[in-house]
């Protein structure tokens, strides 16, 4: 059987078009499958999506390092600073506004945010030894907390806290959190 040049050219064009359509459909299917996970809306970090730990540091003196690791499957935002309550304190530990970062700290799954906690100073008064620490994540407006508090284990024997105590805003590195 002999085909004309026009028929051969038409068959080649049709084959090429079908191949491109199939490749395009396959690429679209792969992109569609990846899009929901890649474009999943970030959430506000909370006790339910993070693991919170506290560590004593040698420098600066009278400081602790608070670490929040995103253990969830979605990106989360660590807004402002954490609300801290040592033992049964009536008010949260004040935020150190000089530590405000340039942008909201964004945590991909597995990443951590840090906050420095100043526990006492020579200018402080009304000190006591705290044995427990509750950590509550801030909402976007910094007007309240999100979810319930996370209990952070303090060093054995507790930590001396007085009226000069403060907590920094969330930072992307431990060194940034401890510079105040």
pLDDT for 9 beyond 60: no
Indicate the pLDDT class of residue 41, thresholds 50, 70 and 90.
Answer: very high
Counted residue by residue, the chain has a size of 180
pLDDT for 4 beyond 60: no
Q: What is the pLDDT of residues 69-109, one digit of tens each?
A: 999 999 999 999 999 999 999 999 999 999 999 999 999 99
Indicate the pLDDT class of residue 40, thresholds 50, 70 and 90.
Answer: confident
């Amino acid at each position: 059987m002999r085909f004309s040049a026009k028929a051969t050219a038409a068959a080649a064009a049709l084959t090429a078009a079908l191949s491109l359509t199939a490749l395009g459909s396959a690429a679209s299917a792969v992109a569609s499958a990846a899009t929901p996970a890649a474009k999943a809306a970030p959430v506000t970090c909370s006790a339910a999506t993070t693991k919170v730990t506290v560590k004593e540091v040698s420098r600066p003196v009278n400081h602790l390092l608070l670490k929040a690791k995103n253990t969830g499957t979605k990106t989360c935002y660590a807004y402002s600073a954490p609300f801290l309550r040592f033992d049964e304190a009536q008010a949260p530990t004040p935020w150190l506004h000089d530590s405000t970062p340039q942008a909201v700290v964004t945590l991909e799954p597995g990443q951590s945010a840090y906050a420095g906690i100043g526990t006492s100073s020579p200018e402080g008064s009304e000190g006591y030894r705290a044995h427990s620490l509750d950590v509550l994540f801030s909402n976007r407006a910094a007007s309240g907390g999100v979810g319930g508090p996370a209990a952070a284990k303090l060093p054995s024997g507790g930590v001396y806290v007085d009226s000069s105590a403060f907590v920094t805003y969330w930072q992307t590195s431990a060194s940034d959190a401890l510079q105040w």
